[in-house]
Chains A and B, each alone.
Chain A
């Protein structure tokens, strides 16, 4: 059974940093592209970042480019999102997402999400 378990969310002040993790199990992690998708309070889903199975390719939404870094450790079956220079508009629940097949989308499995709150 595929499982994705996010951690690392919490409260941080504007300008601060957080590192999200996503522990994956139930599939061959290194074979699949992975993504982070967020949902801000009262809003819809927003793609944040994606990384290839090998980790050699990364992609970012313009809203987080230069501030967030996606990475993965295939030996630990874990996906990461390093979030720096946090802004109030980054407040959201962040979901770890596994690609259905090749590329990054559609997503066939999602974690339950981890909540990030950026506020002074």
Chain B
């Protein structure tokens, strides 16, 4: 099973700042099989990025994904109030699909 390690566990920033979230799979992942999701409290997860860098429909361009192999990054260029949430990465190359434990992005 591929273990997905996200860091930091919690990130405290202010609106307008830049956020950088890390995801490191325990094995190399082809970029085509890495996704990022956002989950607000009490809501369903929302797909942000798939294939490591492709934005899902309706996702603002302040969200961007990058990386390859065992090092992936989700960047939010300028934080809006609605961006404070929990973010999960997921690999879907190897069965079973696995998620990271999440990074909580909180308002500083």
Contact = CB atoms under 8 A, between A and B. Distances in A.
Partners in one complex: yes
Chain B contact-residue range equals 20 to 34
Secondary structure call for the B interface: loop
Contacts of B37: 45, 107
B85 interface: no
Interface residues of A, number: 20
Given A108-B47, A110-B44, A46 B99 contact: yes
Contact of B47 (A43, A45, A61, A106): A106
Interface stretch (B10-18, B23-31, B70-78, B87-95): B87-95
Given A44-B99, A44-B102, A46-B99, A106 B35 contact: yes
B79 to A, nearest CB: 22
B88 A95 contact: no
B103 to A, nearest CB: 10
Contacts of A43: 101
Give 7 closest A-B pairs by Cβ, nearest first.
A105-B92, A110-B44, A106-B35, A45-B99, A106-B50, A44-B101, A47-B97
Given A45-B90, A59-B95, A110-B44, 17 more contacts: A43-B101, A44-B99, A44-B102, A47-B96, A47-B97, A95-B45, A100-B50, A103-B92, A105-B97, A107-B37, A107-B47, A108-B56, A108-B57, A110-B45, A110-B46, A111-B44, A113-B44
